[in-house]
Amino acid sequence: MPANPQNMESRARLSAADWEQAALDVVAAEGVAALAVESLARVLGVTKGSFYWHFPTRDALLKAAIDRWERRDEDEIISQVEAISDPRLRLRDLFQRVSREVQSHRIYAALLQASDLPLVQPVIERISRRRLSLLTDAYREAGFDARRAAHRARLAYTAYSGFLQLNQRHGMPRMDQDEYQAYVDHVITTLVPD
């Protein structure tokens, strides 16, 4: 038995998971439209012939990659949210945490941009519902009635995705680190009750 072939660096043989991870990297860096099998094969040091052994089609890869990301993402979010019982503290922590992991939200931003593709549209819808109900629940626990909780959650979530979108490729004036943190604080004091 070979010594842990999964961790051999730059090994010749690839698995489907390798392709999915590489696909996610491309999506995060250049968007969904930039995901092409030949260029991806070049990145991995192989050719198309390899790809079409692992996946029947390009869309199959994209779907598998997104599913992988969605599972990972959901697990992280859930575990983070379970931690804090006080809803107001939970909301503040959520905002702060999200604000620091901009890197990890690049894929979601890319998917948002490609939400007209029939493959990603249901994904966006699922994620939006989940995150929205997450926020809505927190606001309800914080004392908002159902209506206002839903509205405030929607406002917070649209501000989040709008921020992602406009910061994608310098769509907005850039902020330095201090300015950014000050902005996050402003958002929290504006959208989270004391």
Partner DNA sequence: TCCATACCATACTTGCGCGTATGGTCGAAT
Partner DNA sequence: ATTCGACCATACGCGCAAGTATGGTATGGA
- Contacting residues toward a second copy, per CB under 8 A: 30-31, 33, 112-116, 121, 124-125, 128-129, 132, 147-148, 151-152, 154-155, 157-163, 165-166, 168-173, 182-183, 186-187, 190-191
Kindly give, in sequence order, each residue whose CB lies less than 8 Å from that of residue 137, ignoring residues fewer than 6 positions away.
Answer: 149
Q: In 97-153, at which residue ranges do the beta strands (DSSP E only) sit? A: none
Residue 72-111 contact track with DNA, rule CB under 7 A, x = bound:
----------------------------------------
Kindly give, in sequence order, each residue whose CB lies less than 8 Å from that of residue 94, ignoring residues fewer than 6 positions away.
Answer: 80, 81, 135, 138
Q: Please state, in angstroms and rounded to a whole number, the distance separating the CA atoms of residues 122 and 34.
A: 20
Nearer to a second copy, 2 or 173 (CB): 173
Nearer to a second copy, 85 or 177 (CB): 177
With H, G, I as helix, E, B as strand and everything else as coil, classify residue 5. helix
Q: Please state, in angstroms and rounded to a whole number, the distance separating the CA atoms of residues 169 and 59.
A: 25
Nearer to DNA, 29 or 36 (CB): 36
125 binds DNA (CB under 7 A): no
Which of 46, 81, 124, 191 is in the footprint of DNA by CB under 7 A? Answer: 46
CB 35 to DNA: min, Å: 7
**Helix (H) or strand (E) run with residue 66 in it:** helix 58-83
Q: Please state, in angstroms and rounded to a whole number, the distance separating the CA atoms of residues 121 and 114.
A: 8
The one segment of 8-16, 87-95, 101-109, 160-168 that binds DNA by CB under 7 A: 8-16
Nearer to DNA, 56 or 171 (CB): 56
